Structure 1
């Protein structure tokens, strides 16, 4: 279950999205890490306003979700972790995330662009590929949203979408 499996063991490891208890993402991440389970929690910085001050805080990009990189047999160990509610199911099966989607999500989080997550059922548009900038190489769907052209990367197995502002000059049709 350690983070850097190689060879035959690496093929057995898959990324699974898990649902956490409300506002327990960071504590669940810490508990899973202490167990030696490779975990990914995409965090973004947001400026929060209180009545007496403003402060930058790191919040989960997708509330109540994090990702574990485990063999299927390790599900019970994950479920016995404080803060973890359940695995996510898609079409009656435990949902998995392709390594490429996790890598793309990490790239998005490292890009310092402002991201927005929505659970709206957005209509699919043209398939595109970004040709320049920090997101170069990513593919997705172009949609009209709030009267702007934006790149939509759909994470189907999570049932949500990530919307990123992208200049039209940086996009090629596929």
Structure 2
């Protein structure tokens, strides 16, 4: 098992469709956790319904403050393992957690989805309005709709969302 090198936000891999249950159990055990939820439309033959699903399937973010928290969180029913890269645990920076919270909490941002493919370099912009003010993102042009990508480097994941183009401004290049 890898060493607990740092306290902070770790990524707990959980059983399929157990994200909310594990989150609730962690909070009952007084361990800070976070499951980013997004709204999506599901279609059946007779109806359509808007439902909330986790942004990261089978992931729960856990704020570890001691080695006891590390083991308590893993012992919760539905928890499987911590995400690791090699022998090191994946640690998510507080800034990245805050960015995820802003993205899933902002009403003007729609069509949120996960993309773990590294995209080719595109235009880099900075968001200038709303809760995401100051966040740098990469722009993709998909069917004439501006989409942003916010990179969560510690997870090796990207968050894609549609955002109004008036929210974006050029970043002056540093020579």
TM bucket (normalised to shorter chain) is 0.7 to 0.9
Q: Deviations over 1:93-150 (max 9, x none)?
A: 1111111111111111111222111222322334321112443222222334455432
Given that 1:111 and 1:134 are in contact with CA atoms closer than 8 Å, whether structure 2 keeps it comes out as: yes
Match of 2:29 in 1: 35
CA contact (8 A) 2:93 2:154 kept: no
Total equivalences in the alignment: 163
- Residues 123, 91 of structure 1: alpha-carbon distance in 2 compared, 3 angstrom cutoff: farther
Runs of 4+ in structure 1 displaced over 6 angstroms?
none
Contact 1:123 1:143 in 2 (8 A): no
| Runs (5+) with no aligned partner, structure 1 | 1-11
Residues 46-55 or 21-30, more deviating: 46-55
Q: Deviations over 1:2-59 (max 9, x none)?
A: xxxxxxxxxx751111111111111111111111111100011222223343332211
Q: Which runs of 5+ in 2 are unaligned?
A: 1-5
Structure 2 residue corresponding to 1:85, chosen from 58, 80, 89: 80
Name which of structure 1's ranges 46-55 and 60-69 shifts more when overlaid on structure 2: 46-55
TM-score (norm 2): 0.82
Equivalent residues in 2 for 1:127-166, closer than 5 Å: 127-146=124-143, 148-166=145-163
Change over 3 Å in CA distance of 1:126–1:52 after alignment to 2: closer
RMSD: 2.1
